[in-house]
Amino acid sequence: MAQRTTEIVTGLFIIAGLAALMFLALQVSGLSPKSDADTYTLYANFNDVGGITPRGKVAMAGVTVGSVKSVTLDRDTFQARVELTIDANVDNIPADSSAVIRTSGLLGEQYIDISIGGDMDSLNAGDTFYSTQSAMNLERLITNFASGK
């Protein structure tokens, strides 16, 4: 009987450990079983991506609608080409919308904000944003101001 109680308590201990690991995976690191099926890909070319890295946030009107998948350099135009993964239920982004790099808070991380345009047509999977606005670079701003340009 004592052995059986020990076994039950130990079993509960191991289950608690696995539950804790599940919590760390799902709630803390936000790992979700969501596959690529319910997202689609858009592209945006920036002159300067600043601090945008893979897994970064993509937002519309402050609501997160996707994430940055990769940031690569286009060898021909010397621009940064950013691959964005957008939730499939946001499939009506107007075709003349622009992608803008913004900073959340004064010292917060940078994210890509989609400024909504007015076109009746919407962007399809694999399309590239027509207009973009690069990251604000404080040093360049100061240099421009100092040299009077």
Partner 1 sequence: MDRIASLGRVGLDVVATVGRAGRFLAGVLTGVSRPSVGFPLLVRQLYSVGVLSLAIVVVSGLFIGMVLGLQGYTILSDYGSEAAIGQMIALTLVRELGPVVTALLFAGRAGSALTAEIGLMKATEQLSSMEMMGVDPLRRVIAPRLWAGFIAMPILAAIFSVVGIWGGMLVGVEWLGVFEGSFWGNMQSSVSFTQDVLNGVIKTVVFGFVFSWIAVFQGYDCVPTSAGISSATTKTVVYSSLAVLGLDFVLTAVMFGDF
Chain residues in the site for partner 1 (CB under 8 A): 3, 6-7, 9-10, 13-14, 16-18, 20-21, 23-25, 27-31, 55, 57, 64, 105-108
Residue 97: CB minimum distance to partner 1, A? 22
* Rg of the chain in Å (alpha carbons): 22
Q: Which is nearer to partner 1, 14 or 37 (CB)?
A: 14
Phi and psi at residue 58, to the nearest 5° = -120, 125
The amino acid occupying position 13 is F
SS3 for 79? coil
Q: Which is nearer to partner 1, 14 or 120 (CB)?
A: 14
Residue 146: CB minimum distance to partner 1, A? 27
Residue 21: CB minimum distance to partner 1, A? 5
Q: How far apart are CA 41 and CA 19, in angstroms?
A: 34
Q: What burial letters (b/e) apply to 87-101, b meaning 16+ CB within 10 Å?
A: eeebeebeebbebbb
Q: Which is nearer to partner 1, 5 or 147 (CB)?
A: 5
Residue 56: CB minimum distance to partner 1, A? 8
